[in-house]
Amino acid sequence: MCGLLGLVCPSGLDPEGARGAVDGALRCQRHRGPDESGTWVGPGVVFGFNRLSIVDIAHSHQPLHWGPVDAPGRYTILFNGEVYNYLEIRADLKREFNLQFATDGEAEAMVAAYHHYGPSVVSRFRGMFAFLIWDSHRQVLFGARDPFGIKPLFYSYGPGGVAFASEKKSLLALSRVLGSAPRLDRTALQHYLVMQYVPEPETLHDSVRRVESGTSFTVTPDGRMTTERYFTPLFKTSSVGQYEAGRLHSDIAAVLKDSVAKHMRADVTVGSFLSGGIDSTVIAALAKEHNPDLITFTTGFERQGYSEVDVAAESAAAIGVKHVVRTVSPQEMMDVLPLIVWYLDDPVADPALVPLWFIAREARQYVKVVLSGEGADELFGGYTIYREPISLAAFEKVPGALRKAMGNLSTKLPEGKRGKDFLRRGALSLEQRYYGNARIFRDDQIQRVLRTFNPGVGHEEITAPWYRQSAEWDPVTRMQHVDLFTWLRGDILVKADKMTMANSLELRVPFLDPEVFKIAAKIPLEQKITKETTKYALRAAIRDIVPAHVINRRKLGFPVPIRHWLKDEMYPWAATIIRDSLTDELLDRQAVLALLDEHRTGQLDHSRRIWALLVFMIWHGIFVEGRIRPQIPEPQYPVRL
C-alpha cells in the first residue's frame, strides 16, 4: 500500500525541470508510504513514489525497472495496492517463459506479465491496485485501477502534460507544472449535497478526475488518453432449482476461506477490524485460522444504542483473539474533523469515517495491515433498504394516475409527518427513487440552501447507465448493481482507503474479490432478502464459522450519534463553522443556520444535511479559501506488541 505520482510530459518539454515539483507533490501523500520515497526521471516522464513496505520489504523498491533480456530496463512501474495471486502469476511466467526474478514482490511480476501477456493481463490480477507502467521504447504509459475501485487513482491534464496520483492534493500541487487552473465544479457540488459524496469520475475540482473502477488506460506519445473497461460486475441470478441451496452455501464458505487466505499474505503483522455484525466477524474468524495471534479492533461511543463495543468484545472472546477498543468523544470528533477532511481530498459526509480514523490510528500502534468486511452488503444483499421493494410492492399495482396523485398528496403533508416519505417514494419508479444508501437533500430541500440550483443536474444522470445495464433484473439486484458503482466506490471504499492510509495502515477487503463475486452473482433473490432478514445465503453459509450471537443481528456498523450531539455538545461548534465560512457565493448562510436551529429545537431531524454542509464548509476553508490549515502529523508509529 503506497502513494504513486506519475507525470507524462509532451514532447519538447524537459521532464527534469519538473522533478522538484514532483518531489514537493509527493510530500502531500507521505502518509500513504512513510517507509521510503523515491523519484525517477526518464525521457518524457517523471515518476515518484511513497512506499509502505508490506511484501518483500528488503527489495521491490519503486519506481521499479524491468525489461526482457534483449531490452533491460525497458519498463518502469509504479504500483499501489496488493495483487494477492502474484505468486501464481510468477509461477506461470517461470513455467511459460523461463523467467527469473530479482525480487520477491508483486511489482516485478506485474510488469513482466504485462510484457508477455499485453494489456489484457489486468484481468488476471486478483487484488486491489492502481498502477502505471511506462514503456520507454514506445513512449507509452499504460495503467489500470482494480475491479471494484478499492484503490484510488486521480488524473489531471494541462499544457504541461498529464499526471496521475493516488491523492488529488498531489495533483493540485502540480497545477502550475501542468498549466491547469483548478476551479470548483458546481455540478459535482450539487451531486455531493444529494448523495453525500462526489460520484466517479468527478471531483470537486473541475481539472481533476478519477480513473473509474475496473478501467485500464493508455497515454500515447501525442498525449492522447484512451480508456477501456476491463471488468463490469454483472449479476447472473438464477432460481434455487438451478443452483441448489446447499451447494450455494458451501461454495460461499469455500470462496471466502480462499479469499481470506490470500489476503493474509504479507511480510508484516495482519490484524482485523471487528464490529458487532457478521461481515467483519466472519473475516476475523477466518483470519484467526492463519494467524493464531490475531488482534482485532473496534470503536464506539459512550452513548446507548450507538456502540457495538460489547457485542464485538463478545465475538472476539468467542473467536479467541486479542481485542482492542477505542472510544471516541464528541470533542475529539470536532477537534479532528479538519484534519480528516484534508486527508479525504473531497468531502464525504459520512460521519462513520471519523470513528474509522480513530480506530485506524489505534490499530497502527499494533499492526501494519488490517482486514475488514466492506463489500459484503453490496454482494450479498445486506442493506435494509433492499427490502423496500417488498414494502412498496402494492404501489406497483396502482394505476399511474392514482399513483401520481398519491405522490402529489405527499407534498401537501407537513415535513416530518409520518407516512409522507412512504407515499412520496411509493409514487416514484425505482430509477427515480433509488440512488444509494445516502439520500441527503431532495430537490426542494437543496434549493433552500444552494444559491444556484440546476434542475438539470440530478442523480439519474449518475445512475442511468447502471439501470439500463440491469433493466431485466429484479429490483433488489438492480439496487445492488447501482450501489456497486455509486455508494460502494463513492462512500464505503473512499472512507476505508483514506482513513486507514491517513494512518499509514493498509486495509484489505476479502469480500471484494472477483472470485467471491462470481459466487455472489449467482445468488437468487430468495437467498438474499426475506421478510425476516437480509443476506440470507451468507448467514447460512457461515453459520458454523461465526459465533451464534451475531448470525441474525441487524446491521449497525460504526453508528455516530450526531443527531443528538448537533443539538447539544456540537451546536456552538457547528454554528461557528457556518458563520466563519466564506461560501456565500455558493450557500445561503442564513438558511443553513436556520436548519441548525430547527434541528436544535427538535422541529425536524436535519442532522445528516447539516453534517454534509459542515464537511463541505471545512473542505472549502482548506482547499479554496486557504483559511483552515490543519496541522499534518508526521507518520510515527511505535508498535505495541
pLDDT tens for each residue of 520-535: 999 999 999 988 899 9
**Residues 561, 298, 508, 255: what is their CA dihedral angle, to the nearest 10 degrees?**
-100
Q: What are phi and psi of 234, to 5 degrees?
A: -115, 125
Instruction: Quote the pLDDT of residue 221.
Output: 86
Which of 170, 232, 233 has the alpha carbon at shortest distance from 27? Answer: 170
Going by pLDDT thresholds of 50, 70 and 90, the confidence category of residue 639 is: low
Question: b/e for 342-354, b at 16 or more Cβ within 10 A?
Answer: bbbbbbbbbbbbb
Going by pLDDT thresholds of 50, 70 and 90, the confidence category of residue 348 is: very high
Mean pLDDT, residues 579-608 taken together? 97
Instruction: Quote the pLDDT of residue 406.
Output: 76
pLDDT tens per residue across span 55-91: 999 999 999 999 999 999 999 999 999 999 999 999 9
pLDDT(109) > 70: yes
Radius of gyration of the chain (CA): 24
Q: Which of 45-54, 151-160, 238-247, 437-446 has the lowest mean pLDDT?
A: 238-247
Distance CA 606, CA 612 (A): 10
pLDDT(635) > 90: no
| 2-229: CATH topology | Glutamine Phosphoribosylpyrophosphate, subunit 1, domain 1 (3.60.20)
pLDDT(641) > 70: no
State the CATH architecture for 235-383+478-641.
Answer: 3-Layer(aba) Sandwich (3.40)
Distance CA 567, CA 579 (A): 17
Task: Tell me, yes or no, if 2 is annotated catalytic.
Answer: yes
Task: Provide the residue ranges of all domains of the chain, joining segments of one domain with +.
Answer: 2-229, 235-383+478-641, 384-477
**Which of 2, 8, 173, 174 is flagged as catalytic?**
2
Residue type at 518 in one-letter notation:
K
Entry pTM: 0.95
